[in-house]
Amino acid sequence: MAEIYQIGSGMIGQAMALDLAESHKIHLADLNIKNVRKEIKDHPAIITYDLDVLNKQKLSSFIKKADIVLLAVPGYLGYNALETIISSGKDVVDISFSPENIMKLNNVAIQNNVTAIFDAGVAPGLPNYIFGYHNSFEDIKSFKYYVGGLPKFPKQPFNYKAPFSPIDVIEEYTRPARMIINGKLMTKPALSGIENINFKDSLILEAFNTDGLRSLLNTMSHINNMSEKTLRYPGHVKLIKSFIKKGTFQNNETIKKLFKEWKLEPGEIEFTLLKVELHTNDKTINYELYDEYDNVNNITSMARTTGYTATASINLILESLFTEKGVFPPESVSNNKKIFNFILKYLSKRKVFLNKYI
């Protein structure tokens, strides 16, 4: 039983804490820790703490006895917190998806004998694990993936609810999207390149460019074509573009109102959809994930798919399946069949299934 110190107790954070508490002792900290669900407060293996992650001294003190740290704060807080954790000599898995270049911390991690895996969620995360595995033995020519978390029964005008930090959603809508086209790094506006995608049960969603490739732009720079797109119900992009044109996202009061409209209601059914495509000279390899709200344990699909990928990564390190020192995105971890199968098996035990077809 490990002593896991987790920072962040949002919707995804609480799902991770409950999952890890099945086998380990969890020290869970957050600035608003009093808001956690009853299952967290009453769990014998979870101890909760108040913590301001911006206070580096308190953060260092909090994780002093940790066997490993799990970081799950909003993106704008992630980089500095991660730097403090690594400098404290603690192994860490990070799903903050901060906009900074995390690889800048690689030397610090090596110097402190630390293993750090970042972007270990559903996306970025699972597509990276898939890509890294297949790239280890296939001659991949192109790679793309589509991902979205959406309410099953959408409501106008947005037809959307935010299954994670709304601040990070707005960042997706405004940050230019980087991709590789014919071997060259290209930048296009977020929300551009709209296409309609057909999924099972006659589900039609619109896909648009977002900046989700992140570390892949460097680790997989030998691949001639790479792209990532976010999924929403048709018409959402047009509405968001109108908000951006009006400067809505620069008005704090309006943003607060949006956050309320985007908040998932208790028990609201939502789903997460991920589609990954890898192309070689002679075949296309597809992976698809569809996961819905767990109404037995009251855990959202986004919390399940993101959170359990992260907790799988925690256990990769704890079980010494991955022991290299430094900072690693998932694609640099999974170039090993044993590790890739461990991730898939861990998820499937929690009824999160990645279906492969060629």
pLDDT value, residue 164:
66
Give the strands of the sheet with 3-7, arranged side by side: 46-50, 25-30, 3-7, 68-71, 92-94, 115-118, 326-328
Rounded Cα–Cα distance for residues 191 and 245 (Å): 13
89-99 pLDDT, tens digit each: 999 999 999 98
Domain ranges of the chain: 3-121+304-353, 126-301
- In sequence order, which residues have a C-beta less than 8 Å from that of residue 236 and are 6 or more positions away? 158, 159, 160, 206
- The arrangement of secondary structure in 3-121+304-353, i.e. its CATH architecture, is 3-Layer(aba) Sandwich (3.40)
Per the prediction, the chain carries an average pLDDT of 95
pLDDT value, residue 266:
87
User: In the CATH hierarchy, which fold is given to the domain comprising 126-301?
Assistant: Dihydrodipicolinate Reductase; domain 2 (3.30.360)
Apex CA 215: angle with CA 233 and CA 356, to 5°?
55
Scanning the chain, the segments in alpha helix (DSSP H) are 11-20, 38-42, 56-62, 75-87, 106-111, 126-135, 166-174, 216-219, 236-246, 252-262, 301-318, 337-349
String of DSSP letters for 12-40: HHHHHHHHHTTTSEEEEEETTGGGS-HHH
> Using 50, 70 and 90 to split pLDDT, how confident is the model at 251?
confident
Q: In the chain, what percentage of residues exceed pLDDT 70?
A: 99
- In sequence order, which residues have a C-beta less than 8 Å from that of residue 212 and are 6 or more positions away? 123, 124, 145, 147, 177, 228, 229, 230
| pTM (predicted TM-score) | 0.95
> Using 50, 70 and 90 to split pLDDT, how confident is the model at 131?
very high
